[in-house]
Amino acid sequence: MATYLIKRFFAMIVTLWLIITLTFFLMHALPGSPFNDERNTSEAVQKNLIAHFNLDQPVSVQYIEYLKSIVQFDFGPSIKKSSQTVNDLLGRGFPVSFELGMVTLVVAILSGILLGVLAALKHNGVIDYLAMTIAVLGISVPNFVLATLLIQQVAVNWELLPVATWKSWRHMVLPTLALATGPMAIIARLTRSSMLEVLTQDYILTAKAKGLTPFKIVFKHALKNALLPVVTVLGALAAGILTGTFVIEKIFAIPGMGKYFVDSINNRDYPVIMGTTIFYSALLIFLLFLVDVAYGILDPRIKLHKKEGR
C-alpha cells in the first residue's frame, strides 16, 4: 500500500505540473494584455503596469518565476484588484464554494442512492418508473436552466425562499437543488442497475433462504457491492459539482470562487485565473485519489489481486 501511495503521489505531482504548464502557456498565447481595456490610461502608464507585473519579461522567465512562487504557495497579486492577492481571494471565496459543493455532493449521494435502491426493490413498479423519470429529467435539464426555473417559481412566484446571496441555510436550498439534481440522477441510475444485478447473486438468495429481513439483506449485504460503480464515478461527479458551482454562484450572486473566476476571465486577470485553476485542479486530483483508496476499501478483491501480483 505504501508503494502504491508513493506512486500515486508522484503521478499527482506530474499531472498538476502539466496542468500548470498548459494553463500558463495558453493564457500567454492569447492576444492582447490585461490592460487593453484601460482606455483612460496613457501608453506610458500601461507599460509601467506591464513592467510592474513582470509581463514584459520573456515567457520562459515568467514561467520559471511562477513555478518558484507556486512551490511557496504564493499565487501572486491580482492585476485588477491590486490591493489583494490571489491567496486572499481564495481564502475568502473558497470556503463558500466548498460548503456549497460538499452540501450538494452529500444531498446528491444520499438522494441518488435512496432513489436507486427504491427503484430496484420495486422493479417495474410505479416507484421504479417515477424514480427513473426523475433521473432522466435530472440528467436532461442543465443546472443553469433549473436554477432559473427555481428562482422564478419558488423564490419569485411562491416567495418561499430568498432569490440570491448567501446568508443562512434558506439561501442554500435553491443553489443546492440546482446543482444536486444532475449528479443525483446519475447516482440513482447506477445504483438501480447495480442493485438489480446484485440482488440476483447466489449469496443474496442464500441470505433470503436463511430468513434474514429485507432490511439486513439490502443494507448489510447487497448495498455495499452495489455501490462500487457509484464510488467509481464519485471523482468525476465531484469535479462536475465543484466546477458547476461557478455558473450557479454567478446566477445566485453567491460570493464564492465562481464570482472571482468569471470576473477574472472577463478582466484577463492572469494570476487569478491561474491560481483558481491550479487550486481546483489540485483539489480534484486529491479527490480522485481518495476515490481510488475508497474503491480499494470497498472491494477486497483489489487488495488480493495486488498481493498475488507481488
Same domain, 106 and 33: no
Query: First CA to last CA across the chain, in angstroms?
Result: 12
Same domain, 65 and 128: no
Q: Stretch 197-226: mean pLDDT, rounded?
A: 85
Same domain, 99 and 63: no
Which of 189-203, 204-218, 276-290: highest mean pLDDT? 189-203
Q: What range defines the domain where residue 15 resides?
A: 2-71
Residues 6 or more apart from 231 whose CB is under 8 A from it?
Answer: 291, 294, 295, 298
Residues 6 or more apart from 249 whose CB is under 8 A from it?
Answer: 96, 97, 100, 175, 255, 256, 257, 258, 259
- Higher pLDDT pick, 101 / 33: 101
Angle, helices 228-251 vs 86-121, to 10°: value is 130
Contacts 24+ apart (CB under 8 A), 138-142: 138/181, 138/182, 138/184, 138/185, 138/186, 138/188, 139/182, 139/185, 139/186, 139/189, 141/181, 141/182, 142/182
Which one of 16, 44, 71 terminates a domain? 71
Q: How far apart (Å, rounded) are the C-alpha atoms in residues 76 and 55?
A: 13
Q: What is the pLDDT of residue 172?
A: 92
Q: What is the pLDDT of residue 104?
A: 93
Q: What is the pLDDT of residue 271?
A: 85
Q: Kindly report the CATH number assigned to the domain that includes residue 125.
A: 1.10.3720.10
Domain assignment present for 306: no
Same domain, 102 and 36: no
146-183 as b/e: b if 16+ CB within 10 A: bbeebbeebbeeeeeebeeebeeeebbbbbbbbbbbbb
Q: What is the pLDDT of residue 306?
A: 46
Same domain, 47 and 99: no
Same domain, 155 and 38: no
pLDDT above 90 for 65: no
Of 108-122, 195-209, 240-254, the one with minimum mean pLDDT is 240-254
Q: What is the pLDDT of residue 46?
A: 65
Q: How far apart (Å, rounded) are the C-alpha atoms in residues 61 and 296?
A: 43
Same domain, 97 and 219: yes
Same domain, 23 and 144: no
Q: Write the single-letter amino acid at 121.
A: L
**Alpha-carbon separation of residue 267 from 34, 37, 92, 256 (angstroms):** 6, 8, 19, 17
Same domain, 197 and 289: yes
> pLDDT per residue over 144-177, tens digit each?
899 999 999 999 999 899 987 888 889 999 999 9
Domain assignment present for 229: yes
Domain assignment present for 17: yes
Same domain, 49 and 139: no
Of 9-18, 166-175, 227-236, the one with minimum mean pLDDT is 227-236
Domain assignment present for 8: yes
Domain assignment present for 78: no
Q: What is the pLDDT of residue 298?
A: 63
Are 46 and 35 contacting, i.e. CB atoms less than 8 angstroms apart? Answer: yes
Q: What is the DSSP string of 17-34?
A: HHHHHHHHHHHHHSSS-T
Task: With cut-offs at 50, 70 and 90, classify the pLDDT of residue 33.
Answer: low
pLDDT above 80 for 293: no
pLDDT above 90 for 119: yes
Task: With cut-offs at 50, 70 and 90, classify the pLDDT of residue 83.
Answer: confident
- Alpha carbon 55 to chain centroid distance? 32
State the cell numbers at 58. Answer: 520573456
Task: With cut-offs at 50, 70 and 90, classify the pLDDT of residue 38.
Answer: low
Same domain, 122 and 248: yes
Which one of 16, 40, 71 terminates a domain? 71
| Structural domains in the chain (count) | 2
Q: What is the pLDDT of residue 106?
A: 93
Q: Stretch 232-240: mean pLDDT, rounded?
A: 78
Same domain, 60 and 95: no
Domain assignment present for 77: no
Which one of 25, 41, 71 terminates a domain? 71
pLDDT above 60 for 301: no
Three-class secondary structure of residue 85 per DSSP:
strand
Q: How far apart (Å, rounded) are the C-alpha atoms in residues 310 and 307?
A: 5
Q: Stretch 182-203: mean pLDDT, rounded?
A: 91
Are 179 and 248 contacting, i.e. CB atoms less than 8 angstroms apart? Answer: yes
